[in-house]
């Protein structure tokens, strides 16, 4: 269903789709913003400083690396600090997140970013607990595109290979 609404045009769209189908994205309704921004040209943007970071993903934070870049650009985090932020969210480290939030908001204020805007962006970070790593999403999209090609143009050979790969396990063949 989501794939039909996204309208896949290239491998980047497949990669984005893989990342879009994650609990945090769906819980926040970010897939709707992604789809609207992609198809309608509307740009529900997070913050002007993040436009370059989010442009390729239709102005939403879709990957862990984008959260890291956002913390560097908006709050002057160092790259190790940005990685600490990523890890804190990925591992749901409730001890470090409040400390990093204060650091992020203070860094934003030093960069003349309104405190309310900084808090709003950090809320998006908190919703990004389950964001995907971009390289994983890209790798999976390559496999998905190759599989689709083989199923479409070499259907018989593809399915024979699938069956042969499970030849030793009769239960899997019945699935």
Tens digits of residue pLDDT in 160-169: 888 888 777 7
- The reported pLDDT for the residue numbered 164 is 84
What per-residue string of b and e applies to 112-135 under the rule 16 or more CB within 10 Å gives b?
A: ebeeebbeebbebbebbbbbbebe
Residue 44 pLDDT exceeds 90: no
Taking the C-alpha atoms of residue 68 and residue 70, their distance in angstroms, rounded to an integer, is 5
Tens digits of residue pLDDT in 93-114: 778 999 999 999 999 999 999 9
Residue 91 pLDDT exceeds 90: no
- The reported pLDDT for the residue numbered 174 is 67
Between the CA of residue 163 and those of 105, 120, 138, what are the distances in Å? 55, 51, 27
- The reported pLDDT for the residue numbered 11 is 92
């Amino acid at each position: 269903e989501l794939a039909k609404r996204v309208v896949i045009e290239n491998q980047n769209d497949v990669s984005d789709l893989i990342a879009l189908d994650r609990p945090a994205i769906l819980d926040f309704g970010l897939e709707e913003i992604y789809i609207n921004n992609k198809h309608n040209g509307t740009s529900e943007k997070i913050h002007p400083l993040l436009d370059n970071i989010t442009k390729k993903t239709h102005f939403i934070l879709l990957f862990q690396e984008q959260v890291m870049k956002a913390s560097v650009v908006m709050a002057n985090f160092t790259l190790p600090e940005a990685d600490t932020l990523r890890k804190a969210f990925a591992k749901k480290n409730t001890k470090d997140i409040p400390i990093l939030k204060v650091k992020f908001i203070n860094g934003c204020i030093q960069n003349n970013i309104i405190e309310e805007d900084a808090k709003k962006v950090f809320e998006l970070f908190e919703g990004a607990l389950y964001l995907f790593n971009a390289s994983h999403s890209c790798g999976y999209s390559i496999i998905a595109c190759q599989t689709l090609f083989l199923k479409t143009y070499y259907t018989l050979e593809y399915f024979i290979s699938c069956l042969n790969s499970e030849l030793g396990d009769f239960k899997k063949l019945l699935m």
